[in-house]
C-alpha cells in the first residue's frame, strides 16, 4: 500500500481498512487478512504491556513492537504511534523520534495526536521527509484533559474544535487523519470537508475507512471495551480453554504422548547408560 493508492481509495470511495498490530504473529494475521494499513498503536501500552493507559509506553518499547510488526508484513502500509512525550517539546525532538521509527523499525509513517503544537510538529516531520498521520477527537494521550475516555464533539463548539484540529493537521501535510469517538453525523461532516482520507474509530460509517484495535476486535483481552469496538471473535476464550486443557493433561500425565516424543536406537541408549554410569 502506498500513499497515492490510499488517496485513490478515498477518491474511488473504496473503504480503507486499518487495524493495529504489535508483534510478528499479529502482523502476519493482518497481512493474510488483506488489510490496507497496520498501526503499531500506543494502545499496545494497554493491550500487550498491561498499563492502564497509553501514557507510560516508551520509544524503546514502541520501537521493539514496531520492528517485530515490520517482520510480519509485506504489503500493508506500516504506521507507528509516536508515544506521549516523544514529540511534543520541539520540532527537533519530533523529527529525531520519527526518524528512529523509520530507520530502526522500518515504518512507512508515524502518527501523532491533536492539532495546535502537534500540527507544527507534524509539519516539521513531513518537511523532514516522513509521512505523518494525524489523530483527533478522543486522543488517548491527553484523555485526562478531555475529561476521560469519552466521546468528543457532542456540542457544536466541541465538534467545531475537532474539525479545526483535523484541518490544521491536514494543512500541516498529514496524509490521513484518524478520527476517534465522535458522533456519526460529525464524522460524516468532517470527512466530507477533508481532502485526505479520514479513518474512523467510533466516528460512524461515513469516514473513508475504519480502524480497530486488534485485541478488541478479536476479543483477546478481558478489560473494558469501548462501545465502538465490535467483537468479531472471542479468541481469549479459546486461548484460556487451550491452556487449561494443556494444564489438565500435564497434571493427568496424558501429555506428552508417544507421538510427541523422540526415539533413540536401543544400542545407543545402552551405550549412553553405560557411559553415564
Ligand atoms: O493506539 C491506537 O491503537 C490508536 C487507534 C485507536 C487509532 O491510536
Angle between helices 59-71 and 24-33 (to 10 degrees): 50
Tally of residues, the chain? 277
User: Cβ(131) to ligand 1 under 6 A?
Assistant: no
Give the pLDDT score at 221: 83
Q: Is the CB of 42 under 6 A from ligand 1?
A: yes
Summarised one tens digit per residue, pLDDT across range 51-91 is 999 999 999 999 999 999 999 999 999 999 999 999 999 99
Helix, strand, coil percentages in the chain from 3-state DSSP, rounded to 5: 45, 15, 40
Cell of 158: 466541541
Closest CA to 30 of 83, 71, 59, 2: 71
Q: Give the tens place of pLDDT for each residue, 178-225.
A: 999 999 999 999 999 999 999 999 999 999 999 999 999 999 987 788
**What ligand 1 atom has the least distance to the C-alpha of 213?**
3
DSSP conformation letters of 90-157: -HHHHHHHHHHHHHTT--SEEEEE-STHHHHHHHHHHHTT--EEEEEES-GGGTTTTTSS-----SHH
Contacting residues for 277 by C-beta, under 8 A, at least 6 apart? none
**Whether residue 166 has its Cβ less than 6 Å from ligand 1:** no
pTM of the model: 0.94
Q: How far apart are the first and last CA of the chain?
A: 63
Q: What is the pLDDT of residue 224?
A: 80
Range(s) of the chain covered by CATH 3.20.20.60:
3-233
Three-state DSSP class for 37? strand
Cβ(130)–Cβ(110) under 8 Å?
Answer: yes
For residue 81 and ligand 1, the question of a CB distance below 6 A is answered with: yes
- Summarize pLDDT for 139-180 with one digit per residue, the tens: 989 877 787 788 999 999 999 999 999 999 999 999 999 999
Check residue 145 and give its pLDDT: 77
The pLDDT > 90 percentage for the chain reads 94
- pLDDT of 234-251, one tens digit each? 999 999 999 999 999 999
Nearest CA to ligand 1 atom 4: 41
CA-nearest residue, atom 5 of ligand 1: 41
b/e 193-207 (16+ beta carbons within 10 angstroms → b): ebebbbbbbbbbeeb
Q: What is the pLDDT of residue 17?
A: 98
How far away, in angstroms, is 255 Cα from ligand 1 center?
A: 40
Task: Could you please state the CATH topology (level 3) that the domain comprising 3-233 is classified under.
Answer: TIM Barrel (3.20.20)
Residues 166, 168, 171, 176, CA torsion sign: negative
- Return the bridge partners of 34, or none: none
Ligand 1 contact, 20 CB (< 6 A) = yes
Q: How high is the pLDDT of residue 78?
A: 98
pLDDT at 225: 82
Q: How confident is the model at residue 107 (pLDDT cuts 50, 70, 90)?
A: very high
CA of 178 to the centre of ligand 1 (A): 8
pLDDT(264) > 90:
yes
Amino acid at each position: 500500500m502506498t500513499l497515492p493508492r490510499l488517496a485513490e481509495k478515498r477518491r474511488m470511495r473504496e473503504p480503507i481498512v486499518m487495524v493495529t498490530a504489535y508483534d510478528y504473529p499479529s502482523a502476519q494475521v493482518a497481512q493474510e487478512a488483506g488489510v490496507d494499513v497496520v498501526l503499531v498503536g500506543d494502545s499496545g501500552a494497554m493491550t500487550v504491556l498491561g498499563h492502564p493507559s497509553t501514557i507510560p509506553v516508551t520509544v524503546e518499547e514502541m520501537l521493539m513492537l514496531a520492528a517485530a510488526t515490520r517482520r510480519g508484513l509485506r504489503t500493508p502500509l506500516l504506521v507507528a504511534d509516536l508515544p506521549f512525550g516523544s514529540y511534543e517539546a520541539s520540532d527537533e525532538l519530533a523529527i529525531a523520534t520519527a526518524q528512529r521509527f523509520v530507520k530502526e523499525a522500518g515504518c512507512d509513517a508515524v502518527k501523532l495526536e491533536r492539532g495546535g503544537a502537534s500540527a507544527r510538529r507534524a509539519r516539521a516531520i513531513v518537511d523532514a521527509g516522513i509521512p505523518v498521520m494525524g489523530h483527533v477527537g478522543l486522543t488517548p494521550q491527553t484523555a485526562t484533559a478531555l475529561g476521560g475516555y469519552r466521546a468528543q464533539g457532542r456540542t457544536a463548539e466541541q465538534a467545531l474544535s475537532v474539525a479545526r484540529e483535523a484541518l490544521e493537521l491536514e494543512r500541516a501535510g498529514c496524509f490521513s487523519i484518524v478520527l476517534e469517538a465522535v458522533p456519526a453525523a460529525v464524522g460524516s461532516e468532517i470527512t466530507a470537508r477533508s481532502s485526505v482520507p479520514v479513518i474512523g474509530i467510533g466516528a460512524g460509517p461515513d469516514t473513508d475507512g475504519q480502524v480497530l484495535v486488534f485485541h478488541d476486535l478479536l476479543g483477546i483481552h478481558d478489560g473494558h471495551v469501548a462501545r465502538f469496538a465490535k467483537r468479531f471473535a472471542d479468541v481469549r476464550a479459546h486461548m484460556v480453554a487451550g491452556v487449561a486443557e494443556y494444564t489438565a493433561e500435564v497434571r493427568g500425565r496424558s501429555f506428552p504422548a508417544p507421538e510427541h516424543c523422540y526415539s533413540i536406537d536401543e544400542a545407543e541408549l545402552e551405550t549412553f547408560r553405560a557411559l553415564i554410569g
